[in-house]
A and B are shown apart, each in its own frame.
Chain A
């Protein structure tokens, strides 16, 4: 099973706001920052957010992140059809000595 826990699916209608949760432990989210990745069908993952809530250049401000204790969340506002993708959270795990990933959340735009 995955190091971090995400819901397998989420959905919303265009324009809506959706959130995706990511739960971990003291050895990962509790002591390190969280990244979020977007994976469109048939493509490699792309960095969406880093350091919990920072957007790389080119990522729209519709995407935001937060972290509290051993949990984090990704929020997407003004949902668009092109946001339909798989979303993964990740955080360095001190026990693993590597990044732990969530199992991924498939976002469907209805």
Chain B
């Protein structure tokens, strides 16, 4: 069955960096695009970034553009999110999510359990 396991979250000071990882299994990782989506405490879902199956197409949400970098290593079935210049407002649970199907406009279908990032004020 599909499994997505995020790791790398923790407490990080404002302005510092953190890298999240998402280990995928149970499906052919190299043929699916992937998303990162975050959820601030008590708030709704906010899309962060998307990467195509081969890594050639990448887009970011406006709030993270220029600070976050999404990447993938298909040989390791792993998705990454490099987060630089972290801000208090980046505090959230970060979910990796698999795209539903091969259509570029596909929203997520399966989600990991998330990893919590805290940037204290």
Query: Beyond A32-B105, A45-B111, is A98–B50 a contact (Cβ under 8 Å)?
Result: yes
Tell me if A's interface is mostly helix, strand, loop or mixed. Answer: strand
Q: Is B110 an interface residue (CB 8 A)?
A: yes
Cβ-defined partner of B109 (8 Å) among A2, A47, A88, A91: A47
Q: Are A104 and B35 in contact (CB under 8 A)?
A: no
Q: Are A101 and B46 in contact (CB under 8 A)?
A: yes
Nearest residue (CB) in A for B99 is A99
Q: Is A63 an interface residue (CB 8 A)?
A: no
Cβ-defined partner of B44 (8 Å) among A2, A47, A50: A2
Q: In the complex the two chains form, what is the Cα distance from A44 to B22 in whole Å?
A: 14
Nearest residue (CB) in B for A32 is B105
Q: Are B45 and A101 in contact (CB under 8 A)?
A: yes
Q: In the complex the two chains form, what is the Cα distance from A46 to B50 in whole Å?
A: 18
Query: Beyond A98-B59, A102-B44, is A47–B105 a contact (Cβ under 8 Å)?
Result: no
B30-50 with Cβ < 8 A to chain A: 35, 37, 44-47, 49-50
Q: In the complex the two chains form, what is the Cα distance from A103 to B106 in whole Å?
A: 19
B46-62 with Cβ < 8 A to chain A: 46-47, 49-50, 59-61
Q: Are A92 and B105 in contact (CB under 8 A)?
A: yes
Q: Is A96 an interface residue (CB 8 A)?
A: yes
- Which 10 residue pairs of A and B lie closest in terms of their CB atoms, listed nearest first? A92-B105, A97-B59, A104-B44, A44-B111, A101-B45, A99-B107, A103-B44, A35-B107, A98-B47, A47-B109
